[in-house]
Structure formats: structure tokens, C-alpha cells
Amino acid sequence: MRATIIYSSQDIAGVNIAKKLVSDYSFQQASSVNDFPAFKNGGTLLVEIPSRTVHSENLSLPGDYYIFASRHASETGRPCFTVHPIGNWGKAELGGREKTIVTAFASKMKVALLELNRLAGLNNFTGRLVCFEVTHHGPFLEKPTLFVEVGSSEREWVEERACSVVAGAIMKTVDSNEEFDAFFGAGGGHYSPTFTKIGLLSEFSFGHMIPKHAVGNLEQEVFAQAIEKNVEQISTLLFDWKGLVVEQREKLMGFCKEFGIDWEKGK
């Protein structure tokens, strides 16, 4: 499958990651794509868009799936490397469509997570968080999409070694043909420590992940999207058991029964 890597001219981290891709991985200037500046390495495109990544709705670019090279921002400013799918469980507060999920690519997300973790270690980023994030923002796109990010403040967005880690993880992801069985993850917080641990230490990955705070208002139709909108077949929901209350577990179990989906406790 062919990847198109996307970054925003408004995103300083995205620009710096793109610079590392061009300088370290032999991307060459190419003809523009839909009037967007573009670079090419074999069958892989690197495309610059003018809009913010979360608001780049309905992009139609070549390739079978998209990888966004992006910044991650948080109030704590904790240095991190993150990977996540996209979509909205409820309101569309950061791009995308309300109650609409975008197709996830669990195998690619696992490869990105593993390589971020490996490269972070090689670059002595001791204590820097490497994790899956839950599904939580736009844009709305028709093709499978993942975000690979560096965060969480300008200090990291302009740090050459940190941006090099993300560039390396993206290229490892593009080049990988590995396939993994995947779960739909439910429970816990935004940074998914249970699902990240499973992604790093087992042979499994995750497609979409819903945090505890979003389960209460989750509608059956959106649950169905989270099962259906994946490159891999999803047949099991994995609970962060302690990351949910009884009523939330029972609600999700009811959805699983309705759609013929198994469920398991995460360890």
C-alpha cells in the first residue's frame, strides 16, 4: 500500500519533521499535487497543506492511506511522542464531523509506536512519554489515517533530534508490510497506558480507542463505526477494566452483544 505523508505549513513541528524527511530520506521536489507543494521518494509522497491538520477536511490525495506528521500540544507541556487514529465520538470540537470516525490502520500505528519507542531510546530521550492516544479529533477523510506527533511544546517542536525520531518512525511505518491482529480499546484516559503497554509488549495492536469520559454519551451507531472503520478486521473489544465504571462496562457489553463482538479484559 502506498502512503502519502502530510504536514501543515502552519505547524512548526510538521515543517521540521518534513525537513528531516527531505534531508535524511532522499525525498525530491516533485510536481505539485492539487496545487500543494510536494516531494517524492519512490511511491511515497510528502505533501504540504496550507490549512491546520485538524481542519484539512475532505483532502483527496494520491496514496492508499495518510500519515500526518504533526505537533502534539498539551497543557502540561510534557515531552512526548504519540500515535493515534482520528474521528469524533461526539461533538466535532477539533475538526472532522460530529459522531463520525475515520478509518484506522492498526498495523501501521503499532509499527509507528514501536519505532518511536526504539528511536527515543537510541536518542537518550529518557523519561519521554511514548504512547497511543485515543481517537479524538479531525479532520474527516475518506482514507485510512494516522497521526504521528512530537510534543508537547515549542521546545520539542523545534528540536532537531526529536523531529528526526518522528521522521524515522514515519519511514519505518511506510516501509513496513507487517500485519497485526487488532482490538477496539475502551476505557482509561487520553494517553491510553494500558493499550500502549499492549501495543509495545504483545503481538496485538489497536484500531480505535475510546476514553472513559466519552463512553457515557457514546451512541450505538458510532460504536458500529469504530468496529467497521478499520483496515484490519476488528472482532474483539478490549477493556481497560479499571478505567471504566460498572455502568460503562455494561453499556459497552450490550453494544458488543448487539453487533456480535467479543470482549476481553486488558491486562
Torsion of CA 13, 15, 16, 21, to 10 degrees: 120
Beta-strand relationship, 36-41 and 28-33: antiparallel
Q: Give the whole-angstrom CA distance, residue 43 versus residue 58.
A: 22
Q: Hey, what domains does the chain have and what are their CATH numbers?
A: 3-265 (3.40.630.50)
Grid cell locating 21 = 524527511
- For residue 166, the one-letter residue type is V
Write the pLDDT tens digit of every residue in 38-83: 999 999 999 999 999 999 998 999 999 999 999 999 878 899 999 9
C-beta of residue 72 within 8 angstroms of C-beta of residue 64: no
pLDDT tens, position by position, for the chain (267 residues)?
999 999 999 999 999 999 999 999 999 999 999 999 999 999 999 999 999 999 999 899 999 999 999 999 987 889 999 999 999 999 999 999 999 999 999 999 999 999 999 999 999 998 899 999 999 999 999 999 999 999 999 999 999 999 999 999 999 999 999 999 999 999 999 999 999 999 999 999 999 999 999 999 999 999 999 999 999 999 999 999 999 999 999 999 999 999 999 999 987
First to last CA, the chain: 32
Q: Which residue has the cell 450490550?
A: 254
Neighbours of 77 (CB within 10 A): 13
Q: How many angstroms separate the Cα of 182 from the Cα of each of 107, 128, 154, 212?
A: 8, 26, 33, 20
Look at residue 55 in the predicted model and tell me its pLDDT. 96
Single-letter residue type at 173: T
Cα(28)–Cα(243) distance, integer angstroms: 46
Please tell me whether the overall predicted TM-score, pTM, comes out greater than 0.75 for this model: yes
Q: How far apart are CA 192 and CA 129, in angstroms?
A: 11
**From CA 39, how far away is CA 45, in angstroms rounded?**
6
Q: Are strands 44-49 and 36-41 parallel, antiparallel or unpaired?
A: antiparallel
